[in-house]
Structures are given as structure tokens and as C-alpha cells.
Amino acid sequence: MSDLIDSDGFRTNVAVVLMRADEVFLGRRTGGRGWQFPQGGVRVGETPEQALYRELDEEIGVAGSSLELIGQTAGWLRYRLPPRYIRRKQRPVCIGQKQRWFLLRPKGGDVSFDFGRTSEPEFDQWRWAPYWEPVREVIYFKRPVYARALEELSPLAFPQGPPALPPWWREVTARRGHRTAPAPAH
């Protein structure tokens, strides 16, 4: 099955914020290529929620039945790929991703991970990190979408109010060229 790429060139994708207490799961990309949340493409014929549970199983070896779905972003959040990451010879051309973000918690308070579900694991290490930390850890061009997603999900994650933004927040989220893609005018 292939992933969905919309008419604007954005790959339809899901992203997962898995929380334990006030921390979030971060996986290190295999080979030490940065830290990020689990994410993956929505395949043809699949709903975003089906893709969410398939990706959790494939990337971190966690069954959806062991997790509680707390909520999701109201709409799709988008980011553009820097030109050097765009595969111009691939059809259709993908210029970025539009993501539906999901917030989940383990039902039993904790969860175990298995990165060996596929022949090419996405992650080789993991850790629990403070809620806002992924914005600083993810590759630079994903930082604005991570910030938007965490800000939107924070009332669900912290009904009594989210933790204060860290001192580095403004600098990391305000750098030039790190803006999310605007929604198309339709």
C-alpha cells in the first residue's frame, strides 16, 4: 500500500504524543539522526486512527489496546520539507507533511517498547522527556509543527495548566525559516 499525498504535495501523516505522568516519549532515530515522536504515513484506505495504531505497533511495538486515546488536534498541521529533502524524481512529489496529532497515555501507568517489529527499526533508543523538550530535540524544520501540536494538545495533557515554557522556547521557535506551511486557499 502507498501513502496518501494530497493535491498540494503534502503527505498525509499521523504523529503520536505518548505521555507518562508529565513526560513524553522521545525516540532516537536509528543511527543517531535526532530524536522525535513516532509518526508515519496514512495509507490508501486507512483512517488516521487506524494509521496511528499501526504506526505505534510498527515503530515502538506497543498495542493500541494498552493505551488510552486522550485527544487529537482539531485539524491537520503542516510543515514543508527543506528543498534538499524533496525527492523531485518521485511521483507524486512530496513537499512536506500534513499531520493529525494524537495524545495518548498508557492505561496501566507504564508501557514497554519493542523496536524490533520491522526489519528496519525507526528508533534505536528512547527516553521520557519533559513535555516541551521535543521542540528542541527534533530536526530544525519540524520544530514549528511540534510547537503548534504541543501547544494545542497541552490543555488535554494538563487540565490544571501546562508547565511553564522553558527559557530556550522563544529562541528555538522564532528562528527564521522555521515556519509551518500555510494552509492552502481553497
Task: Residue 27: name the closest of 155, 160, 143, 137 by CA.
Answer: 137
For position 184, what pLDDT does the model report? 45
For position 171, what pLDDT does the model report? 87
Residue identified by cell 496514512 is: 42
Q: What is the mean pLDDT of the chain?
A: 89
For position 89, what pLDDT does the model report? 78
- Please state the φ and ψ torsions of residue 134, each to the nearest 5 degrees: -55, -30
For position 176, what pLDDT does the model report? 45
Could you tell me the residue ranges of all domains in the chain?
10-174
Name the strand (E) or helix (H) holding 35: strand 35-36
Would you tell me how many other CB atoms lie within 10 Å of the CB of residue 31?
A: 7
pLDDT at residue 178 greater than cutoff 70? no
Residue identified by cell 500534513 is: 98
Confidence class of residue 91 from pLDDT cuts 50, 70 and 90?
Answer: confident
Task: Residue 36: name the closest of 50, 17, 19, 11 by CA.
Answer: 17
Q: Measuring CA to CA, how many Å separate 95 from each of 75, 104, 147, 166?
A: 19, 28, 20, 31
Q: How far apart are CA 152 and CA 53, in angstroms?
A: 21
Residue identified by cell 502507498 is: 2
* pLDDT tens digits, 13-44: 999 999 999 999 999 999 887 899 999 999 99
Confidence class of residue 131 from pLDDT cuts 50, 70 and 90?
Answer: very high
10-174 architecture in CATH? Alpha-Beta Complex (3.90)
Q: Which residues contact 55 (CB under 8 A, 6 or more apart)?
A: 14, 16, 38, 39, 40
Confidence class of residue 175 from pLDDT cuts 50, 70 and 90?
Answer: low
Instruction: Report CA 3 to chain centroid distance, whole Å.
Output: 16
* pLDDT tens digits, 58-90: 999 999 999 999 999 999 999 999 988 888 877
Task: Residue 153: name the closest of 5, 4, 18 by CA.
Answer: 18
Would you tell me how many other CB atoms lie within 10 Å of the CB of residue 40?
A: 20
* pLDDT tens digits, 41-62: 999 999 999 999 999 999 999 9
Confidence class of residue 181 from pLDDT cuts 50, 70 and 90?
Answer: very low
pLDDT at residue 182 greater than cutoff 60? no
CB 18 within 8 A of CB 38: yes
